[in-house]
A = this chain, B = another copy of it.
Amino acid sequence: MTDNIDELERKLSKIKQTKPRRLVMDVLRDAEKPLSAVQILAEIEKTGEQIWLSTIYRILDLFVEKDIAIKSTLLDQDQAVYGLNQYQHTHYAVCIGCHRIITMDNCPIACDSFEPSLREDGFRITGHKIELYGYCSECDKKR
């Protein structure tokens, strides 16, 4: 379902290589957490390179289409975030206070034989998303 680095390289080799695509890819490779388009722009600008936001969106759409990246919309965030599709499904906890994203290293669905009970027949499941929410230690203190 998810890929290792070689698998990513194989997918990348199937699309045209351009400088903007390399820039976005480099940022995603280095990121430990999914990033928004604006965050990716900021990372690229830090290196002195220039790129347009619409180009980033187009590249991210392509990456998602080619299964290179995964797009998510986390709790109450008003923008989408993107991460490489290289981890065995990773999930996150989101702080309601500061919107910090914290990586979760395990998954409740992977470890047992969960059978979803859906109100419609014949749904073919291709993936899942789990999000915990609550307060990080810092925001918890402030309340």
Which residues of A line the B interface, CB within 8 A? 71-77, 93, 95-96, 102-106, 108-109, 111-112, 114-137, 140
In the complex, the answer to whether B116 meets A126 with C-beta atoms within 8 Å is no
Q: Which residues of B contact A102 (CB under 8 A)?
A: 118-120, 123
One complex includes copies of this chain to the number of 2
Please measure, in the bound complex, the distance between the C-alpha atom of A129 and the C-alpha atom of B115, giving whole angstroms.
17
In the complex, the answer to whether B124 meets A140 with C-beta atoms within 8 Å is yes
In the complex formed, the residue of B with least CB distance to A115 is B106
In the complex, the answer to whether B135 meets A116 with C-beta atoms within 8 Å is no
Q: Which residues of B contact A122 (CB under 8 A)?
A: 136-137, 140
In the complex, the answer to whether A129 meets B130 with C-beta atoms within 8 Å is yes
Please measure, in the bound complex, the distance between the C-alpha atom of A129 and the C-alpha atom of B111, giving whole angstroms.
18
| 20 interchain pairs, CB-CB under 8 A | A73-B76, A73-B77, A75-B129, A93-B123, A95-B123, A96-B126, A102-B118, A102-B119, A102-B120, A103-B119, A104-B117, A105-B117, A108-B108, A109-B130, A111-B114, A120-B137, A123-B132, A125-B132, A125-B134, A126-B134
